[in-house]
Structure 1
Amino acid sequence: MLQKGLNGFQIKLLALIFMTIDHIHFAFQGVYEIPLAFNIIGRMAAPIFVFMVTEGMRHTRNREKYMLRLWIGSLIMNFGNSIISDHFPLKNGGIISNNIFSTLLTICLLIYGFEKIVISLKAKQYYKVLGFSLLTLLPFISYALIMAITKTGFESQFMMYLLRFIMTVFPNIIFTEGGYFVVLLGLGFYLFGQSRTKLGVFYLIASVVYFFLSVDYSSVSAILASDVQWLMILALPFLLLYNREKGRSMKYFFYLYYPLHIYVLVILSYYLGR
């Protein structure tokens, strides 16, 4: 019997391909003329991964371990980004700031925290309400601390190290890949993702809102020169084809592939651009 739709493994594999194409554009722009189409194709990757992580939170047997893996991935990426950026600078002057692990962790923390707060309130366990509230607010607290330290002007080396420590170890709502918009997208996926109709309507509205908030739509050329993230709408057919089946696991393959392929592309770009 033929399988209908796409299972979880297949949809993540598609997102991986889209992501790789996008990162080719990121790494080699300035070395070669990489078509804008590479960047446009890449706009589909992050929303698919975000959608799948909300499905993971919905179905995993151990949310704490799930979030721990994302946190470890985030730490590795932050250290790796710093090392690779220092030794293999991009010719276009950019730095490696990619860390979708941190974004996914932020989404999961908010989902986990909100639900635990509701459960604790119903059970009248107010000490747990306080604890889970602090956990839920962690991405906002870390952002506030970053801003407070930044305003000091780094007058001491200790403050500079403290800033780097917070940005490396803790997720935050703003200085994370995709920013607050992708975090809100993840929360919407969790709320509406079980209904194809609700998912489609929500995703369409999110894409349209992003378009009007971030794009200069005064002319076709201005649109093409603007932020193309709104073209994430192209991922909608793949999201709607998701058949709720897990498929092959290979979870560590995706965890490993993400940082490794970025670093390999950046190193290749460095040597080819010399």
Structure 2
Amino acid sequence: MLQKGLNSFQIKVIALILMVFDHIHYIFSGIWDIPMWFTMLGRVSAPLFIFISANGMRYTKHPEKYMLRLWAGSVFMSLGNRLMNAYFPLPGGGIIMNNIFSTLFISALVIYCIRKIQERKREGQPFVRYLLLMAVPVVSSFLIVLTMLAPGLTAVSTVIMALVPSVLFCEGSFLFALLGVGFYFCLDSKKRLSLFYALFCLFVLFTGYRPGEGLLSVFTADIQWLMIFALPVMLLYNKQKGAGMKYFFYLFYPAHIYLFAILAFYFAGR
């Protein structure tokens, strides 16, 4: 009997396909005329990955192991991005900054700490260490900024940025990190999820609107608000895991970005 809706694996596949369109536009635009709708489709991708990650924190029996995988992916991407930008620079001066793992890790860390704080409060146990742990991505942001501004300490900022994901320098910045936390607390109600996400996208729309350029600017300047079209997919989620292949997504994400970057480097030089 066929199950209604979409399971976790199917939603990740949808997000993955849309992500590839987005990265094709970003990486190859300096070589070919890639249509704008490629990146418009891509606006849906990150929210879907964040949504599934929040669900993963809800259902996983081993949240620590899940967060460790995200952290390892974040460190790998930080180092990989640096190497790719050094040896295979994108045409047109663009750089590779993609690292959704850092954003997912911060969201998962905050969710984990909030859960632990709630548990400790119910048991009458101290929970200060979880407050401190939750503050790590914020503290790392300040340390990165300070070391970037201090003469001779830029190497230190690079190390901190690579090893300790920060709310200011993760993909999508603190907004996307908070989006994952918001998703987590809306998972039990589709109405609450819809309202939260609609308001979030509305905020993104207003912050991206440029009055001097008119209404057309929301389709040409900052199109991040198009992420609202991820909502119908989220509402189809049936809370089923689906097929395994969890490591496939961890591997495919950096692999396709770096492959595209290498191809763009050689095509641009021909």
TM-score strictly above 0.5: yes
1:245-260 matches, cutoff 5 A? 245-260=240-255
The answer (yes or no) to whether the contact 2:102–2:170 under 8 Å persists in 1 is yes
> Which has the higher mean CA deviation after the structures are superposed, 190-199 or 31-40?
190-199
Cα distance between partner residues in 2 of 1:206 and 1:273? 38
Q: Determine which of 142, 149, 158 is the counterpart of 1:151.
A: 149
Q: Specify the alignment match of 1:43 in structure 2.
A: 43
Cα distance between partner residues in 2 of 1:115 and 1:3? 31
User: Could you say what the CA RMSD is over the residues aligned between the two structures, in angstroms?
Assistant: 1.2
Cα distance between partner residues in 2 of 1:230 and 1:224? 9
Q: Specify the alignment match of 1:164 in structure 2.
A: 158
Q: Specify the alignment match of 1:64 in structure 2.
A: 64
1:23 Cα deviation after fit: 0.3
Q: Specify the alignment match of 1:189 in structure 2.
A: 183
Are 1:231 and 2:229 matched, yes or no? no
Q: Specify the alignment match of 1:74 in structure 2.
A: 74
Q: Specify the alignment match of 1:205 in structure 2.
A: 199
1:112 Cα deviation after fit: 0.6
Q: Specify the alignment match of 2:173 in structure 1.
A: 179
1:122 Cα deviation after fit: 2.8
Q: Specify the alignment match of 1:31 in structure 2.
A: 31
1:2 Cα deviation after fit: 2.6
Cα distance between partner residues in 2 of 1:185 and 1:119? 23
Cα distance between partner residues in 2 of 1:80 and 1:147? 22
Q: TM-score, normalised by structure 2?
A: 0.96
Are 1:138 and 2:133 matched, yes or no? no
- 1:177 aligned counterpart, secondary structure: coil
Q: Specify the alignment match of 2:6 in structure 1.
A: 6
What is the CA deviation profile of residues 14-59 of structure 1, one whole-angstrom value per residue up to 9, with x for unaligned ones? 0000001100011101111111100100000000000000000000
Q: Determine which of 253, 256, 263 is the counterpart of 1:268.
A: 263
Q: Which amino acid aligns with 1:211?
A: L
- 2:91 aligned counterpart, secondary structure: coil
Cα distance between partner residues in 2 of 1:133 and 1:144? 17
Aligned positions, number: 268
- 1:112 aligned counterpart, secondary structure: helix
What is the CA deviation profile of residues 161-186 of structure 1, one whole-angstrom value per residue up to 9, with x for unaligned ones? 21111000001111110011111211
What is the CA deviation profile of residues 201-251 of structure 1, one whole-angstrom value per residue up to 9, with x for unaligned ones? 111111111101122265343222221100001111111111111100100
The runs of at least 4 consecutive aligned structure 1 residues that moved more than 4 Å come to: none
The answer (yes or no) to whether the contact 2:31–2:264 under 8 Å persists in 1 is yes
1:137 Cα deviation after fit: 0.4
1:69 Cα deviation after fit: 0.4
Q: Which amino acid aligns with 1:248?
A: A
Residue identity over aligned pairs, in percent, reads 45
Structure 2, unaligned stretches of length 5 or more? none
Are 1:21 and 2:16 matched, yes or no? no
Q: Specify the alignment match of 2:88 in structure 1.
A: 88
Structure 1, unaligned stretches of length 5 or more? none
1:115 Cα deviation after fit: 1.5
Cα distance between partner residues in 2 of 1:175 and 1:61? 29
Cα distance between partner residues in 2 of 1:26 and 1:270? 13
What is the CA deviation profile of residues 67-114 of structure 1, one whole-angstrom value per residue up to 9, with x for unaligned ones? 000011111101111111111100121111100000000000101111
Q: Specify the alignment match of 2:120 in structure 1.
A: 120
What is the CA deviation profile of residues 2-21 of structure 1, one whole-angstrom value per residue up to 9, with x for unaligned ones? 32111110010000000011
The answer (yes or no) to whether the contact 2:19–2:42 under 8 Å persists in 1 is yes
Cα distance between partner residues in 2 of 1:42 and 1:63? 28
